[in-house]
Amino acid sequence: MSTTVRLSTETRERLARLAAADGETLTAALERLVHEEEIRRFAEEFNAAYERIWADPQLAAIEREERALWDNAMRDGLHDEPPYVEGDGVGE
């Protein structure tokens, strides 16, 4: 399904330059740019959430405790065991 998006001539030309530079269609370039913006915003929100955690001593202590639990889980000794699957595990 597709729809029409109205762009100013200048914006359409800028989008066309970006698309051409990456060998994309206008649609592919617009989809990629929207995806990249979604990722950028997610990362920004994620980082802001951690800034709030580290700014609050009580929340920071909880975060450190949880990380310590994960660190203990990482030391489960599995690195000493042989692999469970020989080869690439495909078709065996």
* Domain coordinates in residue numbering, the chain: 9-76
pLDDT at 76: 64
Tokens 């800034």 correspond to: 51
Q: How far is the C-alpha of 7 from the C-alpha of 14, rounded, in Å?
A: 10
Per-residue pLDDT 10s for the chain (92 aa) are 889 999 999 999 999 999 999 999 999 999 999 999 999 999 999 999 999 999 999 999 999 999 888 877 766 666 666 666 666 655 55
Q: What distance separates the 2 farthest-apart alpha carbons in the chain? A: 62
Q: How far is the C-alpha of 51 from the C-alpha of 45, rounded, in Å?
A: 10
pLDDT at 89: 56
